[in-house]
């Protein structure tokens, strides 16, 4: 049976492999990342924090900057 940390790691891996469109973050995604960022596991915590930061960066970046990618 998988531990909670292993389940979170599996969820994070699946989410990392998904293409995320350039739309505002949904509350479920923010909730998951918030839980990951407060996890005791340093890798999960770092993942949650980096994804929250990336989402915040996308939210404040002007649309014309997104189109240049």
| 24-60 pLDDT tens trace | 667 888 888 888 888 899 998 998 889 888 887 777 7
Asked whether residue 46 is assigned to any structural domain, the reply reads yes
Asked whether residue 67 is assigned to any structural domain, the reply reads yes
Phi, psi of 39 (to 5 degrees): -75, 155
Asked whether residue 1 is assigned to any structural domain, the reply reads no
Asked whether residue 57 is assigned to any structural domain, the reply reads yes
Output the pLDDT for position 60: 73
Asked whether residue 32 is assigned to any structural domain, the reply reads yes
Q: The domain containing residue 53 runs over which residues? A: 25-69
Output the pLDDT for position 2: 75
What is the pTM (predicted TM-score) of this model? Answer: 0.51
> In total, how many domains does the chain have?
1
Considering only residues 69 and 10, tell me which one the structure prediction assigns the higher pLDDT.
Answer: 10
Asked whether residue 54 is assigned to any structural domain, the reply reads yes
Residue 51 exposed, middle or buried by CB count within 10 Å (0-12, 13-18, 19+): buried
The 3-state secondary structure of 9-55 reads HHHHHHHHHCCCCCCCCCHHHHHHHHHHHCCCCHHHHHHHHHHHHHH
Asked whether residue 45 is assigned to any structural domain, the reply reads yes
Considering only residues 23 and 29, tell me which one the structure prediction assigns the higher pLDDT.
Answer: 29
Residue 69 has pLDDT above 50, yes or no: no
């Amino acid at each position: 049976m998988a531990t909670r940390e292993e389940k979170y790691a599996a969820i994070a891996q699946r989410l990392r492999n998904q293409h995320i469109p350039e739309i505002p973050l949904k509350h479920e995604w923010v909730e998951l990342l918030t839980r990951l960022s407060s996890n005791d596991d340093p890798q999960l915590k770092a993942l949650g924090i980096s994804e929250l930061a990336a989402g915040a960066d996308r939210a404040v970046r002007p649309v014309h900057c997104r189109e240049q990618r």
